[in-house]
Each structure stands twice: as C-alpha cells, then as structure tokens.
Structure 1
Amino acid sequence: MAVPCHSHNDYWRRVPLFDALHWGCIGVEADVWHFDDELYVGHNLASLTANRTFGSLYIDPLVKLLDSMNPSTEFTEATGHGVFDVDPDQTLVLLVDFKTNGRDTFLAVSQQLESLREKGYLSFWDGSKVNSRAVTVVGTGKTPFHMVVSNTTYRDIFFDAPLKAFWEHPKNSIAASNSNGGHRAGNGASLPASIEAASNQGKGATDDFASPNAFDTSTSYYASTSFASTIGSVWRGHLTPRQMDIIRGQIRGAKRRGLKVRYWDTPSWPVSLRNHIWHVLMKEGADMLNVDDLRAAAVEDWKRRTHD
C-alpha cells in the first residue's frame, strides 16, 4: 500500500530505496555530490564512499525494478506500471538534493537519468501539461532553477519550490479571532518579518528567480520549507493560533499553484508531539510526511494517541 511519506535521508537506511518501498513510502531522498564525473550519495563529504553512487543506489535498482514491473512476454506487453504492484499508477518521488555546483551537478544528474528516461519511466512536462509516470524527479538544495526551466517544451526534473514564499491570508484568521493567543507574538495573524519578506521576495533554495509566480506544475512538484524555521517551536504540545494561520496560509498558496506540500525539520521527539504535528499537517492539507521512522508513518501510528 502506498503511504504519503518521504524517506528522509533515505541513503542512511540499511537498504536504501527498498526499505522505503517496503513500508510503502512514495518519496525517497538522495543527497548527491558531483566529483570526477561521478555522483556520490551521502550526507556530507566524510560519509562519501566509492561504491555509494547515485547510479548504484537509485538509478540502476529503479530501472531493474520497473523493468520487472513492465515485462514483455508472450502473454503481455506491460507498460505504465510504477513501483507498487497494488497501486501501479502511483509515482515515486525521487528528491535529489544537489550538494555541489548547480550547473555541473544538474548536467550529471540529467545524464544519469537517461536510462529511466529512454524507457518512459520519468514524469515529464510536455509544454502544455504534466504526464505522470513511474518516477518523478525533484531537485532541491543547489538545484539551479534557470536550468530546470531552460527547456520550454520538455522537462523531467522538477523544482522543490519555496513554500515559505507562498503564504496567503487565510479566509478566517484563527489568531485574529482568538483572544487567548498563548505564545503568539505580534498582532493578529501577521507573519514574522522574515517570513513576510520571503513571501514578498519569493526566495527559496536558489536565488535565480524573481517571483513566487514562477512556480506552478510546469516547473515544480513539491513546495517545501523547514517547519522549525517557518513555524517555530511548539510549546506545551500545541500549535498557537498564529502558527496555524502560517501553516494554513502556506498550504493555501501552494495548493493554488497545484503543488504538493512538504514540511521538513518537523519535531521528532517526544513521539506524542511528532504524531500530533503529523496529524495536524495532514489534516490541514499537507501531501507528504517527512519521516525518519518509516514504520510509524506506514502503520499510521501518528493517528493514535501516544504517551511518552
């Protein structure tokens, strides 16, 4: 069964990619470093090894898996099946976090995707609409936005858009109507200056674009932001009215653009707080849980009350 969870730092798993697929996660993350015409996968330079490459951990296994899901035999000529047998139409999001120079890394990633591209396994934009396929590639980190959009008729690497830049006024402000604002600061539902500036300027993972209007389904797939930096600390296990306004305003702006909402850097401990935040985000319209504990997300542990 496919589960709306993103395997954070997937390359740290005992078996990268396959552990996530085992639990039904529809998103995995690979941090890539470009050196000597190769793409190495790891959280930092000290963790890189010669045998842990983008190709060996992700591209080659995906090609092999998808070939097995789309066999050509005397009985059938299967096409269009994704990685999940019980949900063949579900795409797998491969989030590629560019850790090195944007241009060179982008070209290397695009080149290594060719084995998936040539078999029709990559989601793509054809100049007028998005065609969903088995794997959807999303670039984040130092991904150069101008290279993502350089081809005006075909794109199969999408951008991780800056969710914090999409905040819109909620229809009914919780903070403005709630006189017991708890730990909220400022007046009404106004945003912190740093978030409001981001909303006005449209700055995200890279600075080579000018406006939030640059992001829609033709250029982007995810709209992501750090929960810790945009929403802040959660005191006494409850989000304040003002924090809820920020969440709802950001989700509203992303949905209007047709993008999938993902918050990273969410609280992981205590478990009761983690589960509460997961529950609130999904209830408010987030599309993907950014998780370290795959089992907890897969068995929907976050829907149950937990005592730490």
Structure 2
Amino acid sequence: MKYFSCCVLLAGLFISLNTSAQASLSYNRGHSHNDYHQRIPLLTAYEAGMGSIEADVFLRNGELFVAHDTSEISVNATLKKLYLEPLARFYRKNGNQAYKDGSHKLQLVIDIKQDCKNVIPRLIADLSSYETIFNSSVNPKAIKIVLSGDMPDPMEFKNYPDYISFDGRPKIVYTDEQLKRVAMISDNLKSYTSWNGKGVPTKDEESKLRTVIEKAHRQQKPFRFWASKDNPDTWIVLEQLGADWINTDHPAQLREFYLHKDGYISPAIR
C-alpha cells in the first residue's frame, strides 16, 4: 500500500488535480480480478469506475454462490445479493445506464468454477428478473454479461441467449459466428514471460506479448492478461504493449494511478 501511495504522491508533483477526459476513460479499462475478495465486494470496484468486474461462482442447491473455492461458500454470498441486485439499483439510479458518466461501460465477468452446463441455465433464469438491464443484445446501455472459467465448447455458444458472451482464449480457433459471441481474449501472462513487473520484459518476451495482443486485435477483440503483477510499472507497460483490460486486485489504486499517470515516470518499452 505504501508503494501505491508513493506513486500517487509522486504523480501529484508533476500534474495538477484537474483530470482529462482521456484519463477518466483510462481507469474504466480496469478489470477487478476476484472482486469478491475486496473488503467491500462490488462497491470498491464500482466506485473506482472499473469497466470490468469479476465474480467466481459455484452452483449449490439451485443457487449461485460467489466464492473462489467451495470452502469459501457462504449462505449470504449469492451472485444475486452481492452483484445482480446492487448493479440493477445503480443502473436505475443512473437513469438506466451502468455509470452516471454515460461514456463509462461495465461488464460483469462471471467465472464459472465448475459445472457450466447447469450454472448457465440458472444464471439465465436469474438474469430474467432484471428486464433488459443485463441484456446487451437489445439494450446498448446494458451491463454486459461475460462468462469465463468453465465454459461450453464454442460449438455450443449458439445454444445460449445472444446477450451471453464468452471470454475467449488465443489458442482456440473460432469460426466467424463463434467469434461474434466472444467479448474479449484473455490469457495467463506467465505463459509468455518471467518478467517480475519491474522495469520491462526482455525483447523476446515483449515480442511474444505483442504478438498475442495483436492477434486479438486483428480479430477485433480487446485483450486481457491475468496473473500479472499489480503495480504501476506493470499497468503502464501492459498498456504500452496494447493490452485493453488491465487486471488488478487494487481498483481504487488503479483509478488513482490512471488519473495521474501523465506524471508517472515508467521505463519505456522498446
């Protein structure tokens, strides 16, 4: 935490407190990883303006529970209670849009830990209670639903409502129709580099990172790395490489960094 605070303070030495529209849009590129582990799930990331919020789910006794593994399942920690209901309230309060600032978008990434064939129908039933709030196929201002983790085979994408999107993988070859259902492409950063998040990756590693990002962009899909270090050097280098979503376990610090990043001196990639 001291490291983050120092970075923000150093940034403040170089720029004024006024922020640009470009900076405001930047923090909306944050992906709140394992969001339910925040001291205040959803609200911390939402107040930080994250554009992507992730919740892992299990199906138990006909209900979707938010947890990273089965030992964490709590009777009060349902997907409805922690995410769907409060997001619906925020949406209505904002005049039928995810954020008060209409230029900010939001996707809820639901990471299915197991049993997608039964989880997805339960999720669809739960979403049906919220009219078009989560239905991006008919409502352009809807909160987008993206499924990750244990996902159906791409051949089965067509069997689900078209407002359900999927988190793609770079090694999967999708047909044009399947690709329409892919919201983003994601992969493990450690599969490409041993970079520790300080300084910059090696030239060869940088080339590998650029290649996988550019492949996603040729498919007209945004790209995200998971398992990345969570610090300003990493955030700025990944952005320079072209990553669209910036993974973080510290959404408030990511917001502050992006609001002041013009004053942050980071090693430039090649």
Which residue does the alignment assign to 1:93? Answer: 107
- Could you tell me whether the CA contact under 8 Å between 1:263 and 1:289 is conserved in 2? yes
2:237 to 270, 275, 280: 280
- Could you tell me whether the CA contact under 8 Å between 2:193 and 2:205 is conserved in 1? yes
**Equivalent residues, number:** 238
Q: 1:235 to 1:155 in 2, by over 3 A?
A: closer
2:168 to 154, 161, 165: 161
User: What SS is found at the alignment partner of 1:237?
Assistant: coil
- Counterpart CA distance in 1 for 2:265 and 2:239 is 16
Q: 1:44 to 1:219 in 2, by over 3 A?
A: same
Structure 1 residue 295 and structure 2 residue 252: aligned? Answer: yes
- Counterpart CA distance in 1 for 2:41 and 2:157 is 26
Which residue does the alignment assign to 2:158? Answer: 149
- Counterpart CA distance in 1 for 2:123 and 2:110 is 9
- Counterpart CA distance in 2 for 1:83 and 1:292 is 21
Q: Could you state the TM-score of these two structures normalised by the residue count of structure 1?
A: 0.71
Structure 1 residue 225 and structure 2 residue 187: aligned? Answer: yes
- Could you tell me whether the CA contact under 8 Å between 1:90 and 1:134 is conserved in 2? no
Which residue does the alignment assign to 1:106? Answer: 120
- Counterpart CA distance in 1 for 2:236 and 2:198 is 16
- Could you tell me whether the CA contact under 8 Å between 1:7 and 1:292 is conserved in 2? yes
Structure 1 residue 61 and structure 2 residue 23: aligned? Answer: no
1:132 to 140, 163, 178: 140
What is the one-letter code of the residue matched to 2:100? Answer: D
Which residue does the alignment assign to 2:4? Answer: none
Q: 1:217 to 1:89 in 2, by over 3 A?
A: farther
- Could you tell me whether the CA contact under 8 Å between 1:11 and 1:17 is conserved in 2? yes
Which structure shows the higher helix fraction? 2
- Could you tell me whether the CA contact under 8 Å between 1:89 and 1:134 is conserved in 2? no
Structure 1 residue runs of 5 or longer lacking an equivalent are 71-80, 166-201, 203-210, 269-273
1:246 to 177, 202, 208: 208
* Per-residue deviation, 1:113: 1.4
- Counterpart CA distance in 2 for 1:290 and 1:250 is 16
Q: 1:58 to 1:235 in 2, by over 3 A?
A: closer
What is the one-letter code of the residue matched to 2:216? Answer: A
Q: Could you state the TM-score of these two structures normalised by the residue count of structure 2?
A: 0.80
Which residue does the alignment assign to 1:73? Answer: none
User: What SS is found at the alignment partner of 2:220?
Assistant: coil
Structure 1 residue 21 and structure 2 residue 30: aligned? Answer: no
Which residue does the alignment assign to 1:84? Answer: 99
CA offsets 1:93-124 (integer angstroms, 9 cap, x no match) = 101000121100111111111123x2354222
Structure 1 vs Structure 2: percent identity of aligned residues?
25
CA offsets 1:39-97 (integer angstroms, 9 cap, x no match) = 00011111110100000011111112212223xxxxxxxxxx422112x1432110100
Q: 1:69 to 1:237 in 2, by over 3 A?
A: closer
